[in-house]
């Protein structure tokens, strides 16, 4: 078992190197280029690095089933770092589309960055699949933009229901990130659902991504005596905020969304997060055999670590994309012919990317590691959400809430 795996991994590595060299030539060899963008550096680098792992694992599968080729042509992934900045996301997506002449793009994790990169893909007719951007605006960009996850009107309702019905709370305060579309959206959707269930939002405070000191906002929140604080931000600030809340004597649970999903969350927040809850796309303790098989693969490749939800969603995104490309090459063996030398925006290229788009749009009952994926007419997936509790320094599955 072990040595078999080792050989496979070594072969995969050697293969990647060969592709890398082949891809550098000015006189384009025939190949299928797929782009990926994310925060490989910056405050939420865990998001981009997780995406990269998911795509790598899907590439390993493609290597195992067809030597990394589709329709006889090697697939090459180009991963770009947007440093966690929306302006940079737009720049790197331009580069992927115009310079690398990608057939499709995977990314971004963060809604604000998908909203920045998406219009470039849409205008160029290049399909983009966000693994995990949950803000509704992302797929509203247009018919070339897809996602593998549920959207925030649902996710906000999930935590509102959990707060009102499971935790039996009536008064909640909100602390949101005003620089983050995701956080702004979830605040609105949570508020609507929670007040609809008879609850009251007793206070709302704001911060900006990158802030370090939240004491003024937390002091104002404490004065309102909420029974919980809803904190729909990313893990970096969520961990810090939890610590500062406890230092100020705020003992109530803090509730979050999928933006908390990172192995670094508990490293940053430590004990301050005990008894807190957040909504997420999957839970590693789910016995689903597909998920468990994926966990094994991830542990074997990445130092025995468990993947987070982004890795799973990016793996599903890459598999859906490769599947669409494989279907196209079977339906029309000529579909990818001569594309490597055809310019960005050329008719031949647009004809191929349009067909890939149509096949992605037809995704139905795809059995992913993050659940069954069917894309609706707005190119969103309808999936259940899981609520996790932080207990004994671990994320523990609490409940599933269905759409």
The answer to whether 110 contacts ligand PHE (rule: CB under 6 A) is yes
Site map 309..348 versus ligand PHE, x via CB under 6 A: xx--------------------------------------
Among positions 120-139, residues that touch ligand PHE (CB under 6 A) are 132-135
Nearer to ligand PHE, 236 or 329 (CB): 236
**CB distance 342 to 349 below 8 Å:** yes
Nearest to 262 by CA among 43, 59, 55: 43
The answer to whether 380 contacts ligand PHE (rule: CB under 6 A) is no
Taking each helix axis from N to C terminus, what angle separates 289-301 and 309-331, rounded to the nearest 10 degrees? 100
The answer to whether 233 contacts ligand PHE (rule: CB under 6 A) is no
The answer to whether 100 contacts ligand PHE (rule: CB under 6 A) is no
| Dihedral angle, C-alpha 197, 203, 209, 210, nearest 10 ° | -140
> Which residues does 269 contact at the CB level (< 8 Å), separation at least 6?
238, 239, 240, 242, 243
Q: Using the rule CB under 6 A, give the single segment among 8-16, 56-64, 98-106, 107-115 that binds ligand PHE.
A: 107-115
| Peptide linkage before 77 cis (omega within 30 of 0) | no
The answer to whether 237 contacts ligand PHE (rule: CB under 6 A) is no
Site map 45..74 versus ligand PHE, x via CB under 6 A: --x---------------------------
Among positions 146-205, residues that touch ligand PHE (CB under 6 A) are 182
Taking each helix axis from N to C terminus, what angle separates 2-24 and 289-301, rounded to the nearest 10 degrees? 70
CA-to-CA dists, residue 121 to 104, 246, 274, angstroms: 8, 44, 41
List, in sequence order, the alpha helices (H) in 252-304: 264-269, 289-301
Place of tokens 């966000």: 130
Nearer to ligand PHE, 84 or 226 (CB): 84
Q: Using the rule CB under 6 A, give the single segment among 103-111, 167-175, 209-217, 356-364 that binds ligand PHE.
A: 103-111
The answer to whether 209 contacts ligand PHE (rule: CB under 6 A) is no
Whole-number minimum distance, CB 139 to ligand PHE, in Å? 12
R_g of the chain computed on alpha carbons: 21
The answer to whether 279 contacts ligand PHE (rule: CB under 6 A) is no
Whole-number minimum distance, CB 234 to ligand PHE, in Å? 7
CA-to-CA dists, residue 290 to 42, 50, 82, 169, 369, angstroms: 32, 19, 31, 36, 6
Nearer to ligand PHE, 147 or 246 (CB): 147
Site map 241..260 versus ligand PHE, x via CB under 6 A: -----------------xx-
Give the footprint of ligand PHE on this chain (CB under 6 A). Answer: 47, 109-111, 132-135, 182, 258-259, 261, 309-310
């Amino acid at each position: 078992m072990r040595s078999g795996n080792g050989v496979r991994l070594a072969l995969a590595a050697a293969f990647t190197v060969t592709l890398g060299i082949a891809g550098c030539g000015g006189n384009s060899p025939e190949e299928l280029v797929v782009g990926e963008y994310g925060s490989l550096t910056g405050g939420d680098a865990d998001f981009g690095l997780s995406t990269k792992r998911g795509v790598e694992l899907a590439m390993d599968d493609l290597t195992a089933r067809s030597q990394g080729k589709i329709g006889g042509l090697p697939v090459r992934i180009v991963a770009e770092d947007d440093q966690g900045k929306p302006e940079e996301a737009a720049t790197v997506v331009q580069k992927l589309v115009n310079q690398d002449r990608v057939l499709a793009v995977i990314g971004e994790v963060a809604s604000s960055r998908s909203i920045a990169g998406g219009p470039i893909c849409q205008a160029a007719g290049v399909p983009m699949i966000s693994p995990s951007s949950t803000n509704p605006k992302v797929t509203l960009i247009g018919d070339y933009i897809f996602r593998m996850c549920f959207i925030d009107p649902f996710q906000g309702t999930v935590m509102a229901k959990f707060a009102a019905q499971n935790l039996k709370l009536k008064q909640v305060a909100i602390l949101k990130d005003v620089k983050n579309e995701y956080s702004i959206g979830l605040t609105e959707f949570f508020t609507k659902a929670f007040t609809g269930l008879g609850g009251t939002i007793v206070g709302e405070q704001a911060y900006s991504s990158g802030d370090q000191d939240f004491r003024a906002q937390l002091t104002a929140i404490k004065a309102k005596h909420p029974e919980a604080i809803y904190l729909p931000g990313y893990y970096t600030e969520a961990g810090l905020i939890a610590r500062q809340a406890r230092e100020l004597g705020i003992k109530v649970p803090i509730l979050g969304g999928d933006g908390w999903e990172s192995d670094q969350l508990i490293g940053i927040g430590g004990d301050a997060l005990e008894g807190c809850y957040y909504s997420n796309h999957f839970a590693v303790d789910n016995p689903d055999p597909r998920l468990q098989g994926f966990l094994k693969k991830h542990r074997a490749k990445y130092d025995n670590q468990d993947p987070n939800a982004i890795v799973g969603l990016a793996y599903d995104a890459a598999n859906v994309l490769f599947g669409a490309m494989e279907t196209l090459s079977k339906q029309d063996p000529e579909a990818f012919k001569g594309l490597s030398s055809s310019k960005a925006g050329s008719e031949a290229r647009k004809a191929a990317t349009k067909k890939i788009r149509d096949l992605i749009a037809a995704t139905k009952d795809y059995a992913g590691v993050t659940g069954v994926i069917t894309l609706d007419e707005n190119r969103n997936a309808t999936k259940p959400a899981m609520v996790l509790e932080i207990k004994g320094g671990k994320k523990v599955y609490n409940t599933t809430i269905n759409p």
